[in-house]
Amino acid sequence: MTDTLAAHEGSYLEYEGRHKGILGWVLSTDHKRIGLLYLSAIMVFFFVAMTLGVMMRLEMLTPGETIMKPQTYNSIFTLHGVIMVFLFIIPAIPAVFGNFIMPIQIGAKDVAFPRLNLFSWYLYMTGATLAIISLFTGGGAADTGWTFYVPYSIRSAQNVSFTTLAAFVLGFSTIVTGLNFIVTIHRMRAPGMTWFRMPLFAWGLYATSWIQVLATPVIGITLFLIILERLLGVGVFDPALGGDPILYQHMFWIYSHPAVYIMILPAMGVVSEILPTFARKDIFGYKQIAISSLGIALIGYLVWGHHMFVSGMSDTARIVFSLLTFLVAIPTGVKIFNWVATLYKGSIKFSAPLYYVLAFIFIFSIGGLTGLVLGALATDIHVTDTYFVVAHFHYVMFGGMGIMFFATMHFWFPKMFGKMYNEKIAVIACTIIIVGFNILYFPMFIMGYMGMPRRYYDYLPHLQGWHILSTVGSWILVAGIVFMFGNLLYALLKGPKAARNPWGGTTLEWRVSSPPTVENFDEIPVVTGGPYVHDKPTYIMQPSKELVHENGDKLKGETLKAH
């Protein structure tokens, strides 16, 4: 555990392998470099989609035309949704931090299939390229909403086929990454790392990966059928040809509801990393948190119908889906209670990543609790397809996954780049983000209950006050986000060198140098205890030299050989 362990090789950032320069990146099978490849692409798409969101809010500043025509507005909200969902929210935490951190956390030198890993990045880029091409070819950008509901998506003259093809290809990227993670977690854990000694981030990714592998094929085939409907008129969904639009909605949500948990489970995993780190104590209810991830993944499969409470689905189905929807709230609640309890009797070091997590718990709780209004049948019928839903899913998606993406960046930034950022600025930026976020999205709950439908280019004048408030919120939020990323960018270029373990973390990634070496570990470590034990070491970093190092669990040489 001494610093002399540091790498006989250089950092992964400087490593020169078979290929040099840019090729050394785009042909690298190193999970850390692939993580950064994803990061750079994902950041670009995040800023594009954020800009689209700001334009939508700007349009809503006044009733009638403010800066664009209805057709443009419809394409913009479609693109905002498609890019945010498929190119940012779904891949961001698993593909960037799952790739970078998870193998180190479980004591592996890489993922199980490094080449497949690189391939999935190329699939991602291919999907992204198709999405971009779709903007400038055919009838122009798709205008169906990210849900591609039929028959509108079949009738639309816009370039819907290309956009769905993009989502289809992106689905493969997700499946391949999920598969890779499942095998990695099953097969590549370091000796002594039992399932219940595994960091909770890895648990979150594990649950997510199963959803990715099992649910993504459904959306793949569904979107592909849309393309077939448009090109060949096969009539699976088109009522004019004897198809069933409700069937489409079922198939779409069979994937897209579990996808919500693909988005949030890795983020929840990071919450479970950050809290014990800064509370300086073990996490409260490790097993409950780990198992609740699987519980969410499992029940999350069975609740898709709550998106269709007014679609004309049978009343019985509506009642059953409502009941199941309420059940999925339980494991989520268990997580939140355990997180808060982790702070109890800790010795809390207040820092930027922790602050983002506290913001997450507050905002995500609002998102989760308003989900109850949508889960209850009587109230859902009134507020579904209104701004209430828009507010709700921005609180859970942006407030949940988005804010946690920011928290994750701040938590692992020193590890990934070996640089430290200005924490004060990070905290100020987070405060601006919290304020802007709530001014932007909270009025939407109110407008929703007042009956403002979503995806509306225009609105009745009595709502203008709320719309103005919301738009002003978007400006504050964007200012906070730009400020935050500016701070990180500055640190990347000019920040002071980060220590190996700046936060006092207990998981394996904090035992390797910052930034990690190419192969992460000189020797595969041996794990002797849980991931968040603060008062004694639970890893033997160089088992072969174990006797000369501090010996956490009083392990004998013979015991070690047994591993």
The yes or no reply on residue 337 touching other proteins (CB under 8 A) is yes
The yes or no reply on residue 152 touching other proteins (CB under 8 A) is yes
Q: Minimum distance from CB of 121 to other proteins (Å)?
A: 33
The region of 218-226, 356-364, 436-444, 489-497 touching other proteins under the rule CB under 8 A is 356-364
Q: Which is nearer to other proteins, 465 or 486 (CB)?
A: 465
The yes or no reply on residue 379 touching other proteins (CB under 8 A) is yes
The yes or no reply on residue 120 touching other proteins (CB under 8 A) is no
What is the number of other CB atoms lying within 10 angstroms of the CB of residue 114?
A: 17
Tokens of 117: 């890993």
Q: Minimum distance from CB of 431 to other proteins (Å)?
A: 14
Q: Minimum distance from CB of 69 to other proteins (Å)?
A: 7
- Taking the C-alpha atoms of residue 177 and residue 365, their distance in angstroms, rounded to an integer, is 29
Interface with other proteins (CB under 8 A), residue from 23, 327, 489, 547 = 327
Q: Which of 73, 293, 82, 310 lies closest to 202 in space, CA to CA?
A: 293
The yes or no reply on residue 424 touching other proteins (CB under 8 A) is no
The yes or no reply on residue 467 touching other proteins (CB under 8 A) is no
The yes or no reply on residue 501 touching other proteins (CB under 8 A) is no
Interface with other proteins (CB under 8 A), residue from 319, 547, 550, 556 = 319
The yes or no reply on residue 294 touching other proteins (CB under 8 A) is no
- Taking the C-alpha atoms of residue 83 and residue 472, their distance in angstroms, rounded to an integer, is 23
The yes or no reply on residue 380 touching other proteins (CB under 8 A) is yes
The region of 100-108, 252-260, 316-324, 435-443 touching other proteins under the rule CB under 8 A is 316-324
The region of 138-146, 175-183, 423-431, 519-527 touching other proteins under the rule CB under 8 A is 138-146
Interface with other proteins (CB under 8 A), residue from 312, 486, 496, 557 = 312
Interface with other proteins (CB under 8 A), residue from 132, 133, 336, 492 = 336
* SS3 of residue 386 by DSSP: strand
Q: Which is nearer to other proteins, 107 or 295 (CB)?
A: 295
Crossing angle (nearest 10°) for helices 200-232 and 245-279 = 160
What is the number of other CB atoms lying within 10 angstroms of the CB of residue 157?
A: 9
Tokens of 216: 């993504």
Span 522-561, contacts to other proteins by CB under 8 A: 533-535
Q: Which of 140, 275, 251 lies closest to 199 in space, CA to CA?
A: 275
Interface with other proteins (CB under 8 A), residue from 38, 46, 162, 459 = 459
Q: Which is nearer to other proteins, 456 or 475 (CB)?
A: 456
In the Cβ-directed half-sphere of 44, how many Cα atoms lie within 13 Å?
Answer: 9
The yes or no reply on residue 283 touching other proteins (CB under 8 A) is yes
The yes or no reply on residue 74 touching other proteins (CB under 8 A) is yes
Q: Which of 439, 433, 101 lies closest to 274 in space, CA to CA?
A: 101
Q: Which of 66, 71, 92 lies closest to 397 in space, CA to CA?
A: 92
The yes or no reply on residue 316 touching other proteins (CB under 8 A) is no
Tell me the Ramachandran region of residue 338: left when phi exceeds 0, alpha when psi lies from -120 to 50, beta otherwise.
Answer: alpha
Residues contacting residue 455 through CB under 8 Å, at least 6 positions apart: 74, 77, 145
* SS3 of residue 376 by DSSP: coil
Interface with other proteins (CB under 8 A), residue from 138, 140, 145, 235 = 145
Residues contacting residue 240 through CB under 8 Å, at least 6 positions apart: 151
What is the number of other CB atoms lying within 10 angstroms of the CB of residue 556?
A: 12
Q: Minimum distance from CB of 133 to other proteins (Å)?
A: 23
Q: Which is nearer to other proteins, 53 or 495 (CB)?
A: 53
Interface with other proteins (CB under 8 A), residue from 217, 235, 333, 529 = 333
Q: Minimum distance from CB of 385 to other proteins (Å)?
A: 4
H-run or E-run covering 526? strand 526-527
DSSP tag of 545? G
* SS3 of residue 518 by DSSP: coil
Q: Minimum distance from CB of 369 to other proteins (Å)?
A: 4
Q: Minimum distance from CB of 428 to other proteins (Å)?
A: 18
Q: Which of 84, 74, 87, 99 lies closest to 160 in space, CA to CA?
A: 74
CB of 255 closer than 8 Å to CB of 222: yes
Q: Which is nearer to other proteins, 1 or 343 (CB)?
A: 343
The yes or no reply on residue 138 touching other proteins (CB under 8 A) is no
- Facing residues of 453 across strands? 386
The region of 162-170, 253-261, 360-368, 470-478 touching other proteins under the rule CB under 8 A is 360-368
H-run or E-run covering 540? strand 539-540
Q: Which is nearer to other proteins, 535 or 558 (CB)?
A: 535
Q: Which is nearer to other proteins, 372 or 435 (CB)?
A: 372
The region of 85-93, 180-188, 334-342, 417-425 touching other proteins under the rule CB under 8 A is 334-342
Residues contacting residue 270 through CB under 8 Å, at least 6 positions apart: 93, 97, 201, 204, 404, 407, 408, 411
CB of 217 closer than 8 Å to CB of 175: yes
